[in-house]
């Protein structure tokens, strides 16, 4: 009798909410969560502060920067191709020119993703969300009106934004962050990029490809130190070879702005001048306006929320996914985190987890992609490994495409021949890596380097690099 009353009480309580779940944010994490929940017949709403869905990934981050890179890569290819160079002058494009292509891609992405929500009957609420309590959100609309909505469960998928130190004037017309750089309307001859992480390195490639003089200030002693050392060194060399000036181990002291330029003073005493500056040193979780304290939550100093293995926060009915929880801060991982969070929201006993080896794609020019362990990690762990390498310049497909820069490296166990890590540098690296990733994930001894020797690849292809690298590595064994 007691159990029946309790069950009835819970049921009526659940029915008193407006939705089964509300997701704040429509980036990859929010999309993954809402799609999975809606397909499980849950009544779902998404709250987005902007009129178009897609989040920072679609509007300011992943999609725009990769679209810009694509345009620049094709420009470089055109200007360096002897077929065109014989008859025509080198073409020059400005940053506003290539933004037009990015804007077209963004429109297509918004249209596509809006269709996902419509088809799955997910209610789209436009406004600024903040917590009233753990089940209630207040939505501030653009017209100033306010409404409250409730849900049994809430997911925070608000992403991140560029970190902005107080002593730099981001309102100045020549000072940008990785969001506002997309509003650049003039054609700079020089730019200073502060922060040589993924975003800074990608934009250094983009601007240098447009013929802009680039100073890249790195606060660390090497570029992208989480990469395998050879990949990091390859990127450093090619940026340097293309004319990017990289300054390692530097910190900003102050920034001086004028109507015509920006002067950056470094702690080391150096100073440099450029037409504009891009500050790309760190990101902060988007929790400042959410009033998470009203729900019993507290963000850390970087605006990020703590979650358990099921993406559940310290408050049992509130989950968080994507950049707002920190590592790995990848759009691909955020979507999967959303799906896994939805599983856990429905089934508290769910054991589904992200794969251990998440691939990374860095869209510099040339591109970099990695999956698995680096040489440094294997050496430190005292795992006996060997290396197989293939250089793109030896592949027929690369010669045909005049895409000779790059290489593929496979790390494998000397005794079991199990693939431990794959690292690729060069055009389409982020596509090529998935072939190796698929083999790494095989069970029952199917994840050895010998697969690449025993299978037959299309010829000519870039995928053939796996066969070349495998033979190279196996020849090192004795």
- Tell me the binding residues: 48-57
CB 39 within 8 A of CB 343: no
DSSP conformation letters of 112-130:
HHHHHHHHTT-EEEESEEE
pLDDT for the residue 350:
87
How far is CA 254 from each of CA 159, 175, 260, 269, 318, rounded to the nearest angstrom?
29, 13, 17, 11, 41
Q: Which pLDDT band holds residue 314 (cuts at 50, 70, 90)? A: very high
pLDDT for the residue 86:
66
Tokens encoding 316:
């049992």
Burial of 81 (0-12, 13-18, 19+ CB in 10 A): exposed
Per-residue pLDDT tens digits for 361-409:
999 999 999 999 999 999 999 999 999 999 999 999 999 998 999 999 9
Q: Which pLDDT band holds residue 311 (cuts at 50, 70, 90)? A: very high
Q: What is the average pLDDT across 444-461? A: 94
pLDDT at 9 > cutoff 60:
no
Per-residue pLDDT tens digits for 327-373:
999 999 999 999 999 999 999 888 889 988 999 999 999 999 999 99
pLDDT at 6 > cutoff 80:
no
Q: Which pLDDT band holds residue 15 (cuts at 50, 70, 90)? A: low
The CA-based dihedral angle spanning residues 395, 65, 98, 238, taken in that order and rounded to the nearest 10 degrees = -40
Q: What is the average pLDDT across 8-12? A: 41
Q: Which pLDDT band holds residue 226 (cuts at 50, 70, 90)? A: very high
Q: Which pLDDT band holds residue 83 (cuts at 50, 70, 90)? A: confident
Picking from 16, 64, 86, the residue whose alpha carbon sits closest to that of residue 199 is 64
Helix (H) or strand (E) holding 19: strand 19-24
pLDDT for the residue 348:
84
Q: What is the average pLDDT across 399-428? A: 96
Instruction: Name, in order, each residue with C-beta under 8 angstroms of 419's C-beta and a sequence gap of 6 or more.
Output: 372, 410, 411, 412, 436, 439, 440, 447, 448, 449
Q: What is the average pLDDT across 210-221? A: 97
Instruction: Name, in order, each residue with C-beta under 8 angstroms of 413's C-beta and a sequence gap of 6 or more.
Output: 383, 384, 385, 386, 420
Name the percent of the chain in helix, strand, coil, to the closest 5.
35, 25, 40
Mean pLDDT of the chain: 93
Q: Which pLDDT band holds residue 2 (cuts at 50, 70, 90)? A: very low
- Tell me the binding residues for FAD: 48-57
Picking from 376, 379, 354, 382, the residue whose alpha carbon sits closest to that of residue 226 is 376
End-to-end CA separation in angstroms for the chain: 74
Whole-number Å distance between alpha carbons of 386 and 418: 10
pLDDT for the residue 3:
40
pLDDT for the residue 18:
97
Whole-number Å distance between alpha carbons of 196 and 233: 14
Per-residue pLDDT tens digits for 264-276:
999 999 999 999 9
Whole-number Å distance between alpha carbons of 463 and 465: 5
- Whether 175-281 and 9-161+284-346 are alike in CATH topology: the answer is yes
- Give the strand order in the sheet containing 213-217: 175-177, 276-279, 190-194, 213-217, 245-247
Judge: domain 9-161+284-346, CATH 3.50.30.30: no
Query: Which fold does the domain 366-474 belong to in CATH?
Result: Enolase-like; domain 1 (3.30.390)
pLDDT above 70: percentage of residues in the chain: 96
pLDDT at 10 > cutoff 60:
no
Q: Which pLDDT band holds residue 11 (cuts at 50, 70, 90)? A: very low
Picking from 341, 350, 305, the residue whose alpha carbon sits closest to that of residue 325 is 305
pLDDT for the residue 1:
36
pLDDT above 90: percentage of residues in the chain: 90
Q: What is the average pLDDT across 195-222? A: 97
- Residue ranges of domains in the chain: 9-161+284-346, 175-281, 366-474
Q: What is the average pLDDT across 175-195? A: 95
Whole-number Å distance between alpha carbons of 458 and 351: 38
Greatest C-alpha distance within the chain = 89
Instruction: Report the CATH architecture of 175-281.
Output: 3-Layer(bba) Sandwich (3.50)
How far is CA 365 from each of CA 142, 168, 234, rounded to the nearest angstrom?
40, 29, 11
């Amino acid at each position: 009798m007691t159990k029946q009353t309790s069950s009835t009480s819970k049921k009526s309580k659940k029915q008193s909410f407006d939705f089964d779940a509300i997701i704040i944010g429509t980036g990859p994490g929010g999309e993954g969560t809402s799609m999975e929940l809606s397909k499980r017949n849950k009544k779902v709403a998404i709250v987005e502060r902007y009129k178009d869905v897609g989040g920072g990934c679609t509007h300011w981050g992943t999609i725009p920067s990769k679209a810009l890179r694509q345009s620049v890569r094709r420009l470089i290819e055109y200007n360096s191709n002897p077929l065109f160079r014989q008859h025509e002058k080198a073409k020059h494009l400005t940053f506003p020119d290539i933004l037009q292509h990015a804007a077209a891609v963004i429109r297509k992405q918004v249209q596509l993703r809006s269709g996902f929500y419509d088809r799955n009957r997910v209610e789209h609420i436009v406004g600024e969300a903040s917590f009233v309590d753990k089940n209630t959100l207040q939505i501030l609309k653009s017209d100033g009106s306010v409404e409250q909505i409730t849900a049994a469960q809430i997911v925070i998928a608000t992403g991140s934004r560029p970190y902005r130190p107080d002593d730099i004037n981001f309102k100045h017309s020549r000072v940008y962050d990785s969001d506002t750089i997309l509003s650049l309307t003039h054609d700079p001859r020089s730019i200073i990029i502060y922060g040589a992480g993924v975003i800074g390195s990608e934009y250094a490639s983009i601007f240098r490809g447009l013929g802009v003089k680039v100073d890249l200030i790195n606060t660390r002693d090497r570029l992208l130190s989480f990469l395998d050392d050879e990949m990091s060194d390859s990127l450093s060399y090619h940026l340097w070879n293309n004319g990017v000036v990289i300054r390692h181990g530097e910190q900003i002291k102050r920034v001086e702005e004028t109507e015509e330029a920006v002067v950056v003073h470094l702690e080391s005493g150096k100073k440099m001048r450029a037409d504009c500056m891009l500050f790309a040193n760190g990101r902060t979780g988007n929790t400042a306006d959410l009033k998470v304290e009203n729900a019993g939550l507290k963000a850390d100093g970087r605006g990020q929320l703590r979650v358990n293995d099921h993406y559940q926060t310290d408050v049992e009915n509130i989950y968080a996914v994507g950049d707002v929880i920190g590592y790995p801060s990848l759009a691909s991982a955020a979507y999967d985190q959303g799906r896994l969070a939805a599983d856990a929201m429905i089934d508290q006993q769910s054991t589904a987890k992200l794969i251990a080896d998440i691939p990374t794609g860095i869209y510099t020019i040339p591109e970099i992609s990695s999956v698995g362990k680096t040489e440094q990690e294997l050496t430190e762990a005292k795992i006996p490994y060997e290396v197989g390498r293939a250089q793109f310049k030896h592949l027929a497909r690369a010669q045909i495409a005049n895409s000779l820069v790059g290489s593929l490296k496979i790390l494998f166990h000397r005794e079991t021949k199990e693939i431990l890590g794959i690292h690729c540098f060069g055009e389409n690296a982020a596509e090529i890596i998935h072939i190796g990733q698929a083999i790494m994930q095989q069970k029952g001894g199917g994840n050895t380097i010998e697969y690449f020797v025993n299978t037959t690849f299309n010829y000519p292809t870039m995928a053939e690099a796996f066969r070349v690298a495998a033979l190279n590595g196996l020849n090192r064994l004795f």
